Structure 1
Amino acid sequence: MLQTDLVEKCKNNDRRAQLKLYRQYCDAMFCVARRYLHNREDAEDVVQEAFIKAFRKLHQYRQEIAFGAWLKRIVINNCLDRIKREKERLLSVEDVFPEISGEETEGWMVENSLSPKMIAGAMEQLPEGSRYVTMLFLVEGYDHEEISEILGITEVNSRTLLFRGKKKLRELLKAYRKV
């Protein structure tokens, strides 16, 4: 069955089609959620909430983009919402990270000797604001316009946070190499 046919059946509340679509994407979406949430149960909850939201708002899905990309954005937004809810009080990004001048660096690469676990561990040590921007940019592949929409920040702040996140990540990864 074609993806578009499956989505159309889901729009008509076909439970079998919904289950099939769920099974097709649940593992990948769980992996995305785990990159943002440390607790397995929270990640599972977010994925379930994302599927419920996706099925409720399926009429808004435009087939110009892949269904998986659309769903991934819902999962990421749900993760970020959960993180925000857990905070008692959030400072605005502008207060925490004032704008800096300079362009972001291009062609950012890490050495092959660094394991994915080391890189993930280093990313977890980044300050929260720059961690999410860095993950959205480097891991998820979003551009600054999309990141600014997802996080509710300006594109300038997205660039600033990415610049700082990459700089700090480089420092952390250098420390791993010395170990």
Structure 2
Amino acid sequence: MFQGNIIEKCKKNDRKAQLQLYNSYCEGMFHVAYRFLKSVEDAEDAMQESFIKAFKKLHQYHGDVTFGAWLKKIVINHCIDQLKYEKKQLVSLEDQLLEPIQHEEEVISESLVIEIKEHILEAIDKLSDKYRLVVLLYLVEGYDHKEISEILDITETASRTKLLRGKRKLQEYLKVYSNGIG
């Protein structure tokens, strides 16, 4: 209920409430934008522009979904539009450390884990934009095919097909790499 009161105040152009809502979501929305864009500056700009758009269209928010989910969709759509416009590459995975993997009773060294992660990132970067976008939205952001179809303006079948083809391409790229290890 607390958040609902803030949103109602924001709809009435209450600057303190807008700042409070911004402060609650800015860090998370920055990370969403950063996963799509390769620079801190672009992610900050995308986040700021998304908040401006959200505040202008706040009258369209009716509470059907959480405010965070509604805002996240605005951020993702803005990033996708920016990528289409600038034809930039996507960052396909978050910069998080992979946990050491147990392999035949041995722990794989951290340097090997880092090397594997780099190869996964390279493989994802090799995907064409049409596959990379669906892979990113599905595997990293956790959207389902219905949501992806709405975001990218494609059919659910096309979303499933692009995800399947993107995964196959990733497997091909990674198979070449895995044959070189071990």
TM-score range relative to shorter protein: 0.7 to 0.9
C-alpha deviation, 1:64, in angstroms = 2.1
* Pair 1:73–1:130, CA change in 2 (3 A): same
Counterparts of 2:117 and 2:70, CA distance in 1? 27
Q: Does 1:143 align with 2:168?
A: no
Structure 1 unaligned spans of 5+: 88-109
Counterparts of 1:127 and 1:43, CA distance in 2? 21
Q: Does 1:65 align with 2:65?
A: yes
C-alpha deviation, 1:173, in angstroms = 4.2
Moved more, 49-58 or 38-47: 38-47
Aligned residues: 157
C-alpha deviation, 1:59, in angstroms = 0.7
C-alpha deviation, 1:123, in angstroms = 2.7
C-alpha deviation, 1:19, in angstroms = 0.7
Matched residue SS, 1:48:
helix
Counterparts of 2:26 and 2:117, CA distance in 1? 22
Residue by residue over 1:2-37, the C-alpha shift from the partner in whole angstroms, topping out at 9 and shown as x without a partner, is 111111111111111111111111111111111111
Structure 2 unaligned spans of 5+: 88-97, 102-112
**Aligned twin of 1:104:** none
C-alpha deviation, 1:178, in angstroms = 2.6
Q: Give the superposed CA RMSD.
A: 2.5
Q: TM-score, normalised by structure 2?
A: 0.76
- Mapping 1:52-91, distance limit 5 Å: 52-87=52-87
**Aligned twin of 1:134:** 135
**Aligned twin of 2:5:** 5
Larger RCO of the pair (alpha carbons < 8 Å, separation 6+): 1
Percent identity, aligned pairs only, is 57
Q: TM-score, normalised by structure 1?
A: 0.78
**Aligned twin of 1:24:** 24
C-alpha deviation, 1:121, in angstroms = 4.7
Counterparts of 2:100 and 2:135, CA distance in 1? 19
* Pair 1:112–1:123, CA change in 2 (3 A): farther
